[in-house]
Amino acid sequence: MQEKHPAGGYQAAGTWNVSPRTLSRQERRTSFGEVESTLTLAQAVQEANRCLYCYDAPCIQGCPAQIQIPEFIARIRSHNLTGAAEVIYRDNPLGAICGRVCPVEALCQKACTSCRINTPIAIGSLQRFVCDLAIQEGRIAFQDETNVLGKVAVVGGGPAGLSCAHYLRQRGCEVDLFEKEDLAGGLLRWGIPIYRLPEEVAKREIDLITNRVALHRKYLLGTQAEDFLKQYDAIFLGIGLSSPILLRTPGADLPGVYAAASFLRALREKKGGDFAFYGKEIAVVGGGATALDAARSAIRLGASKVTVLYRRTAEEMPAFSSEVEAAFQEGVDFLWLMSPVEITPVDGRLKLILEGIRLGEPDESGRASVIPTGVRTNFLADAVLVAIASQAEPAGVEGWMDRPKVFRGGDLTGGATVVQAVADGKEAALRIISWLEKGGSQ
């Protein structure tokens, strides 16, 4: 907190746009420290002052969780930080997490009216500031209703399941949360690297939810699935897409070829030593968030060269522009329009045979189709991290997706961001609540 000046007001304000303190390129190449710092109070108030407080607030339409953004920003402006936190947590129980990992440039900030006269308001940074301070000062204590509305099983402790569990608890449902790992959080715990989402930040907000439910850890649904349908009034499935899809090219099973997701998980489990990338050349195959997280993590382990191989171009990359930009700044190389067709061992290294790609008419996904050109080149690497796609892990629930008691959300239903998962979980919770209120009929 800033020191209050004896004559009133706060020191160090002006009318400039603010940006958080950010680690230098060099610091990012040698540490997993969080890239951006939380804004100071003076910075946050300053940035909040730029908000136009639009009548119709297009930023809210850009937020999957529908946070009442101008309302929390107005509260920062008046130094009502508890009120600001209440506004955020009302619509998103993972406010500090989303303030860090949301692709704001494609969501709220893309819609910001200030884009038309200036840079958008730094909504993500402001949200992070409010939530960090509120949690740090212990101002977040969720009050749940006490009259029991029903008993619900939430399967999957990722952001969708956590969000669903939170809103169910708020309305007084008893919640059993089933998590296959020994800690809830899903991608927040095992996927997103700590330079984007520090362990402690994730833990604090996850705990604020899991402390209010019955958490069943290391629990795989398996064959008990059918019993669930009898035991619970409703079931939410937020099991995500935790199983990586591997390359099918010859050599994909060679030592040194890893699923990027497994690599990221090992780093979160502090087993980074298993991946001795210092001074090594690393190839990353794929163009999504996981590919970029893997590439940027490899840089931080001291890899001498990290190259992202993607079969389309920067335009079509599913990763968000801020992530691509950050990777580029940190020294990640990109090779566009290339796809590996074979991997062979050569003198203790890996030789990737890459085939050139030409883009054709859009396919059913709406993206340009991929047409191999037949032109081949060799690419040498010490390790290959594969991040091409992921799928749901078999959980024994495949057969009952369409049962009336069963609700779904998160990556499982096509979401691609944490905030979308939060929104799905909330929406499912509201549907479940309304269903229970009507006595369990749709």
3 lies in the binding site for other proteins (CB under 8 A): no
Choose, by CB under 8 A, the member of 38, 92, 113, 297 that binds other proteins. Answer: 113
82 lies in the binding site for other proteins (CB under 8 A): no
41 lies in the binding site for other proteins (CB under 8 A): no
3-class DSSP assignment, residue 237: strand
Choose, by CB under 8 A, the member of 35, 45, 121, 154 that binds other proteins. Answer: 45
Choose, by CB under 8 A, the member of 26, 117, 223, 361 that binds other proteins. Answer: 117
The distance of closest approach from Cβ of residue 15 to other proteins in the complex, given in angstroms and rounded to an integer, is 5
Beta bridge partners of 389: 245
Q: Find out whether 109 and 122 touch, Cβ atoms under 8 Å.
A: yes
- Residues 6 or more apart whose Cβ sits within 8 Å of residue 143: none
Choose, by CB under 8 A, the member of 3, 24, 26, 55 that binds other proteins. Answer: 55
The distance of closest approach from Cβ of residue 73 to other proteins in the complex, given in angstroms and rounded to an integer, is 12
State how far the Cα of 121 lies from the Cα of 19, in Å rounded to an integer: 10
State how far the Cα of 417 lies from the Cα of 100, in Å rounded to an integer: 12
Strand blocks (E) in 32-159: 151-155
The distance of closest approach from Cβ of residue 378 to other proteins in the complex, given in angstroms and rounded to an integer, is 53
The stretch near other proteins (CB under 8 A) out of 50-58, 170-178, 411-419, 421-429 is: 50-58
70 vs 99 by CB, closer to other proteins = 70
CA angle 261, 266, 222 (to 5 degrees): 65
70 vs 410 by CB, closer to other proteins = 70
Q: Find out whether 59 and 102 touch, Cβ atoms under 8 Å.
A: no
115 vs 148 by CB, closer to other proteins = 115
109 lies in the binding site for other proteins (CB under 8 A): no
3-class DSSP assignment, residue 241: coil
15 lies in the binding site for other proteins (CB under 8 A): yes
The distance of closest approach from Cβ of residue 238 to other proteins in the complex, given in angstroms and rounded to an integer, is 34
Choose, by CB under 8 A, the member of 52, 225, 246, 266 that binds other proteins. Answer: 52
Q: How many CA atoms lie within 13 A of 440 on its CB side?
A: 13
State how far the Cα of 51 lies from the Cα of 347, in Å rounded to an integer: 59
Q: What residue has token string 């396919």?
A: 363
The distance of closest approach from Cβ of residue 37 to other proteins in the complex, given in angstroms and rounded to an integer, is 20
165: tokens are: 């569990």
The stretch near other proteins (CB under 8 A) out of 3-11, 216-224, 271-279, 382-390 is: 3-11
- Residues 6 or more apart whose Cβ sits within 8 Å of residue 116: none
Q: How far is CA 362 from CA 292, 313, 319, 371, in A?
A: 24, 14, 19, 11
Choose, by CB under 8 A, the member of 3, 14, 141, 399 that binds other proteins. Answer: 14
The stretch near other proteins (CB under 8 A) out of 111-119, 202-210, 262-270, 359-367 is: 111-119
Q: Find out whether 359 and 337 touch, Cβ atoms under 8 Å.
A: yes
Give the DSSP H or E segment for 88: helix 81-91
The distance of closest approach from Cβ of residue 46 to other proteins in the complex, given in angstroms and rounded to an integer, is 5
State how far the Cα of 238 lies from the Cα of 185, in Å rounded to an integer: 11
Q: Find out whether 311 and 338 touch, Cβ atoms under 8 Å.
A: yes
The distance of closest approach from Cβ of residue 18 to other proteins in the complex, given in angstroms and rounded to an integer, is 10
Q: Give the DSSP letter of residue 142.
A: P
23 lies in the binding site for other proteins (CB under 8 A): no
The distance of closest approach from Cβ of residue 86 to other proteins in the complex, given in angstroms and rounded to an integer, is 19
The stretch near other proteins (CB under 8 A) out of 8-16, 143-151, 361-369, 391-399 is: 8-16
10 vs 400 by CB, closer to other proteins = 10
Choose, by CB under 8 A, the member of 3, 24, 26, 56 that binds other proteins. Answer: 56
Choose, by CB under 8 A, the member of 3, 9, 398, 438 that binds other proteins. Answer: 9
The stretch near other proteins (CB under 8 A) out of 97-105, 110-118, 219-227, 301-309 is: 110-118
253: tokens are: 């099973």
- State the distance between the two ends of the chain, measured CA to CA, in whole angstroms: 50
49 vs 262 by CB, closer to other proteins = 49
State how far the Cα of 125 lies from the Cα of 20, in Å rounded to an integer: 8
162: tokens are: 């956590």
For other proteins, the binding residues (CB under 8 A) are 4, 6-10, 13-15, 45-46, 49-50, 52-56, 58, 77, 113, 116-117
